[in-house]
């Protein structure tokens, strides 16, 4: 028999027992060998839902406080999310670059942020006694890069540069897994425009791209006014996923469209009124997953980033910066979508889309195993499912046990070849695990029509 490309066998989906917070859990993930786990989760530490599930199910593993290993399932989800972000950024003219994580202190001192960032900035010296930091953001670096290319003309604008890379902040109390760590993945875009009007158009285009992204992920989000903080600028908005563990307090007006982070309002007022219409504001906690800033010339004036206008005269570039917490989106989505015991992803970034389960070895339905293998191969041949289908061929386990595990791991679809697959007209059992509904029984053709439409 021809060997399957990606079956759920011991050499691909290794069973790995490890200890998390003192209790043993087992997980399934794609690797060729067990990865040792350094247990840095204190037994007294409060774990949020996403952190607990991702630890128990082998998506993340502790390394040191604020630092985590991303294991194969989480990496697959992260890569899918990055592809969605790439699509949205390129749709608005974004050009992808990759800047160094090591930033020389000279740049940060020029902007005044070397001191302003305080203890959150990781600082160190190299062997030549030169000061560096691990960049938590790249305004200084990207502006000096643009300035170093020579004066551009107005015909080159707008310029929208972005990257998806690791960032670093020395968090005092890292917690909640990927939601607040010392290193994390971020998408940051930096825009350069000829005028304030054009910079505002870029700002709105990026905000719309963020809205498109969250809509594609089917995540309920809130866009609120935010403070500019040490990044600076004249306008700032934050994108939040409402969640009970959110560390930001958001105030939303029920009458008009005013929405703001509590930091924007008078902190001394217990029940603030809407500054727009005077109506009462509703408060809700949120997890910040995106932040946008209209910077003006704060950085371009410092680093001499300019362009030649229509009359050949130099003008300072108008800037904006736009961040998305990529790894935070991953955890925040799990936080708001999952149950306490079952992990749920936005379907488009689930590590795998389909799990095919054959009958238990030695059972009356064992003859359907060949059908399950054929289904696996045929589903894998569908373009949108290529590489996104797994065959759980652990025949020593019952169908029920494997269905339970596949559901808990967050497979959006589970396809089972059971007793009905042996009837005169074979029927395949299909579970949409994210919905509270009974399984559907489909013919072979109905299954493929369903999967092609999913």
Q: For residue 334, which of 59, 57, 49 has the smallest C-alpha distance?
A: 49
Whether residue 13 has pLDDT greater than 90 = no
Domains 76-335 and 352-453 share a fold: no
Mean pLDDT computed over 356-361: 94
Q: Is 445 exposed, middle or buried (0-12, 13-18, 19+ CB in 10 A)?
A: exposed
Q: Give the three-class secondary structure for 260.
A: strand
Which H, E and C letters describe 181-239, residue by residue? CCEEEEEEEEEEECCHHHHHHHHHHHHHHHHHHHHHCCCCCEEEECCCCCCCCCEEEEE
Q: What gap in Å lies between CA 34 and CA 30, rounded to an integer?
A: 10
Matching residue, tokens 């929405």: 259
Helices (H), 92-118: 105-111, 113-116
Q: Give the three-class secondary structure for 80.
A: helix
Q: Is 424 exposed, middle or buried (0-12, 13-18, 19+ CB in 10 A)?
A: exposed
Amino acid 216: pLDDT = 97
Amino acid 42: pLDDT = 59
Architecture of the domain made up of 352-453: 3-Layer(aba) Sandwich (3.40)
Q: What gap in Å lies between CA 417 and CA 419, rounded to an integer?
A: 7
Q: What is the pLDDT of residues 415-447, one digit of tens each?
A: 999 999 988 899 999 999 999 899 999 999 999
Give the pTM.
0.90
Q: Give the three-class secondary structure for 25.
A: strand
CATH of 76-335, one of 3.30.70.270, 3.30.920.30, 3.30.70.20, 3.30.930.10: 3.30.930.10
Task: Give me the residue spans of the domains in the chain.
Answer: 76-335, 352-453
Q: What is the pLDDT of residues 314-353, one digit of tens each?
A: 999 999 999 999 999 999 999 999 999 999 999 999 999 9
Tokens of 381: 């041949």
Q: What is the pLDDT of residues 39-94, one digit of tens each?
A: 455 555 689 999 999 999 999 999 999 999 999 999 999 999 999 999 999 999 99
């Amino acid at each position: 028999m021809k060997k399957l490309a990606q079956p759920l066998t011991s050499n691909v989906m290794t069973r790995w027992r490890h200890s998390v917070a003192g209790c043993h859990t087992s997980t399934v993930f794609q690797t060729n060998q067990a990865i040792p786990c350094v247990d840095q989760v204190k037994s007294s530490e409060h774990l949020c839902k996403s952190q607990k599930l991702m630890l128990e199910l082998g998506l993340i593993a502790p390394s040191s406080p604020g630092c985590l290993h991303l294991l194969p399932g989480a990496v697959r989800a992260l890569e899918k999310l990055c592809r969605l972000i790439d699509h949205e950024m390129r749709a608005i003219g974004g050009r992808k670059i990759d800047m160094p994580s090591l930033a020389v202190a000279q740049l940060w001192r020029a902007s005044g942020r070397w001191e302003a960032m305080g203890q959150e900035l990781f600082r160190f010296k190299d062997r030549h006694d030169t000061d560096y930091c691990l960049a938590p953001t790249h305004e200084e670096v990207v502006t000096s890069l643009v300035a170093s290319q020579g004066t551009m003309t107005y015909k080159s604008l707008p310029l929208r540069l972005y990257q998806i890379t690791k960032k670093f902040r020395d968090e005092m109390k890292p917690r909640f897994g990927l939601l607040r760590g010392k290193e994390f993945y971020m998408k940051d875009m930096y825009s350069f425009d000829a005028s304030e009007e054009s910079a505002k158009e870029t700002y709105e285009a990026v905000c719309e791209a963020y809205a498109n992204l969250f809509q594609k992920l089917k995540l309920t989000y809130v866009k609120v006014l935010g403070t500019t903080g040490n990044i600076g600028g004249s306008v700032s908005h934050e994108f939040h996923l409402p969640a009970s563990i959110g560390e930001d307090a958001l105030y939303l007006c029920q009458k008009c469209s005013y929405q703001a982070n509590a930091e924007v309002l008078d902190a001394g007022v217990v029940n603030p009124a809407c500054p727009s219409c005077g109506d009462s504001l509703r408060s809700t906690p949120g997890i910040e997953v995106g932040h946008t800033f209209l910077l003006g010339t704060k950085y371009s004036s410092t680093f001499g980033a300019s362009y030649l206008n229509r009359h050949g005269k130099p003008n300072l570039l108008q800037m904006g910066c736009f961040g998305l917490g990529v790894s935070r989106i991953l955890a925040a989505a799990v936080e708001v979508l999952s149950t306490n015991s079952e992990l749920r992803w936005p379907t488009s970034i689930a590590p795998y889309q389909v799990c095919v389960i054959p009958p238990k070895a030695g059972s009356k339905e064992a003859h359907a195993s060949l059908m399950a293998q054929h289904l696996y191969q045929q589903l894998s041949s569908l373009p949108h499912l290529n590489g996104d289908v797994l065959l759980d061929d652990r025949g020593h386990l019952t169908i029920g046990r494997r269905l339970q595990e596949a559901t808990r791991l967050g497979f959006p679809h589970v396809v089972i070849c059971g007793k009905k697959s042996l009837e005169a007209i074979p029927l395949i059992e299909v579970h949409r695990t994210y919905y509270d509904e009974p399984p559907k029984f489909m013919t072979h053709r109905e299954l493929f029509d369903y999967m092609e439409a999913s």
